[in-house]
Amino acid sequence: MLGLGLNSMVLKPSGNEDTTADSFLTSETPGSLNISTLPLPEVQCFVFNGEYMNCTWKRSSEPQPTNLTLLYGYKNSDKVQECGHYLFSKEITSGCWLPENEIHLYETFIVRLQDPREPRRQMEQKLKLQDLVIPWALEKLTLRNLSEYHLELSWNNRYPWGCCLQHLVQYQRDRDTSWTEQQVDHKQSFSLPSVDG
């Protein structure tokens, strides 16, 4: 008996900065507590198969939540724009949907969340989108017997930049006590010794 598992992830090019966040908070007088001293929530962004991106944040803990504004752009560009398609939770903004043509995977994405009632109250983050891709599930997973002692596992994926994906194949034979993991780069197939080999 042979057990198989397969995970996909996007390769992570080196040289870009890590996710960072800067919060700009203001206060009227030292020690006073007002709306502008409450921190804004962190924004989480995920790119779905390179087709669209959702950036979401948790609802604020303010007594009267406000519709926060999301602005975004890229590191080496002066173009900053407001979200064109907000996502809502109980009539309060909770995210932003961005189409494929607004996604530049290998450029540093800068997202700024701000309170329109207090423009100085804002949170800015720098994200590496290539590390935040969720590819669609694999298709046509096929196991073929190449010879008496070798099997080939092959699959298709719907990710447009499949050459950038890393796959992790996990397998276990009857006599094994743990799973064996093998990384597969830039391919959609994997050869493994058969269970009797």
Per-residue pLDDT reduced to its tens digit, 157-181: 877 776 677 888 888 888 888 998 9
Decide: 49 and 134 in contact? Cβ < 8 Å.
yes
Dihedral sign, CA of 138, 144, 147, 148?
positive
Q: How far apart are CA 67 and CA 175, in angstroms?
A: 58
Decide: 145 and 190 in contact? Cβ < 8 Å.
no
For residue 194, what is the DSSP state?
-
Decide: 45 and 95 in contact? Cβ < 8 Å.
no
Is pTM beyond 0.95 here? no
- Domains assigned to the chain: 2-10+137-193 (2.60.40.10), 20-25+41-133 (2.60.40.10)
The answer, yes or no, to whether residue 57 has pLDDT greater than 90, is yes
The position carrying tokens 């406000």 is 66
Tens digits of residue pLDDT in 113-171: 999 999 889 999 999 999 999 888 888 888 888 887 788 888 888 777 766 778 888 88
Number of Cβ within a 10 Å radius of residue 112: 19
